[in-house]
Amino acid sequence: MQFIIRKKENIEDQYHTAAIIGAGPAGITASIYLGRAKIDTVVFERMIPGGYIVATDKIENYPGFPNGISGEELGNLMEKHLKRFDAQVKTEEVTNVELDTYPMKIITEEGSYSAEAIIIATGTKNKRLGVPGEDELVGKGISFCAICDAPFFEGENIVVIGAGNSGVQEALYLSKFAKSIKVLEFLDHPTAEGILLDRLKQKDNLELLVSQRVTSFIGKDRLTGVEVEEKTSKKKKVLKVKGAFIYAGVSPNTDFLKGKLDLDKEGFIKTDEELRTSKEGVFAAGDVRTTSLHQVATAIGDGALAAHNLREYIEEK
């Protein structure tokens, strides 16, 4: 008798009726709905369930928590809800998909899977500024996560780049640690909600500077300064700081989908009102799709609708 030892990549695809790529609020909600419908579903998440909200200090606009709730706590509650319906969660990053086959194929670094229908809920990542010194100093004074890195800047002078909701909210959190914080905004006005701006004004160690463009990050082994340019006068100056937290918008996690689905010019997935994409049997939910609002509440609504429409698609097939 001859025994054949197969390599992992040669093992037959693991089949599931449905697959969800991403386990943020949208993906978790979709999984809960499909689990209750008794549809065999696999969920892929490269990090931990909860997505971007886990790194958020406090969420105050999600119904049911009148005093607000930390992103980490809400993420943990969502993960518990996810596991209640025996969700099959794979801690694997999806690197490729084949959407023109039936069933469709999902490829990760660990293996390959097949499914009759897919929900893409991969969310977004923070944009980089693309200026000199940025790539070299990420992790050496430049950060994208206040919750993760705030303690490293105890008693230091730092900047927060971006005065939208995320930037101001994270600046408020950082104010507990830093000696002083300058919040830099390229526009001539902040775009954060009024309640957040009121709190910013009440902090003695927070200062808002508008019409400021970051032109470079300075430092060899560690960040020592940030060069900024005043938008109108074009005058430049260097702010001597030990830390810089960047909140200059987001871009979608859709690199693995280029050429496979219709995307808008920024890379977000185009959908119809039923959250169907340009490929039959593929839906998109949450921040990864073209939408005017990126919030936990809208992502959860998307997850429910995508799961409902996927179920109907499966039943019709």
3-state secondary structure of 173: helix
Beta bridge partners of 209: 184
Which one of the listed residues 13, 40, 57, 145 is annotated catalytic?
145
Q: Is 148 a catalytic residue?
A: yes
Alpha helices in 138-230 (DSSP H): 146-149, 165-174, 194-201
| Angstrom distance (rounded) from CA 29 to CA 27 | 5
171, 181 in Cβ contact below 8 A? yes
286, 303 in Cβ contact below 8 A? yes
Which one of the listed residues 13, 40, 57, 149 is annotated catalytic?
149
Q: Is 145 a catalytic residue?
A: yes
Pairing assessment for the beta strands 112-120 and 14-21 based on DSSP bridges: parallel
DSSP 83-122: HHTT-EEE---EEEEE-SSSSEEEEESS-EEEEEEEEE--
269, 284 in Cβ contact below 8 A? yes
Name residue, tokens 């830093």. Answer: 178
Name residue, tokens 């019709």. Answer: 316
For the chain, the straight-line distance linking the first and the last C-alpha, in angstroms and rounded, comes to 43
116, 103 in Cβ contact below 8 A? yes
141, 223 in Cβ contact below 8 A? yes
Which one of the listed residues 135, 148, 255, 264 is annotated catalytic?
148
44, 36 in Cβ contact below 8 A? no
Catalytic residue numbers?
145, 148-149
